[in-house]
Chain A
Amino acid sequence: MKFKIYYFIHFGLILIVSITSVINSFLDYNNFDKEKLTTLNLSIKRLLYNPVYHSYTIFTGTNTGYGFYGINVATYKYFSVELYDSDKNLIRKTNTFGFRSQNNLARFEVLASKMANFIVENKNFPKTEDPKLLETRQLYVTKVFKRIGLFEAEKTEACKYYKVTLYTLMPSDIREDKNYNSTKRIGAYESIEFEL
């Protein structure tokens, strides 16, 4: 009996977290008003983010949704750092940061994807929320960009300025573009310049 109870609680809660995550992604993607779901979301958050269950989900690895490669599949995103000398001449440019393994570069590109989502959330930040929170979020983005750029800038003595850009690939619609596999359209989410 105890095994049955554990089984249903364990998977019942996993199902609730997963379905809620998909519903919220769907509403975000379609710009639906989530205010009507605020009470439900808060109730679920209170249920699932209590310290006991939250610790359990971290320990078991179940603190994740399964909507990856689901709604609005994320496109390829990457950071690029350009290093300039005191005359603002380009010294070098990189988007690989010295990673020796493609697997690890792919891990680093997870950060690019997360930052892209974070920047979009900042741009769509509700006016009813505390503006200081938005300020903090924007500061976080700036700090992350700065540290990524500094990591490369410190390797180059002549570097005086550096620019960090978060790019995304914008794949063509395969039904409209006959050369979809060779068309490379790139957009920038954010670009920040820093001085050393």
Chain B
Amino acid sequence: MTARRWVYLVPGRDNVATAVQALAPGDRVELEFVGSVTIGEPIAFGHKFAVTTIEAGADVVKYGHSIGQAIRPIQAGEHVHVHNVAGRRGRGDLRRTSRGEGEGG
């Protein structure tokens, strides 16, 4: 097997992929189900980029599950991290109950 540069865990369900080598603007990434994505900004090792447009408020999906929601619209190829994603859980600041809506439990 040759060294890969990104990992797209659950093709067709995840809307992010993870860089396992640093990616640069202009890099073309080929993804199962999605096709070709052009990287729009530097993505550091271990960091995520969007594989499709993610609307503000929409789930960010990795491992086939929601890992939070976009707090503003995200373009394909854009860095996805704490500046544009918020987790829904453990949010004492929002004073939600532990039985958050739609999260099971």
A and B associate in one complex: no
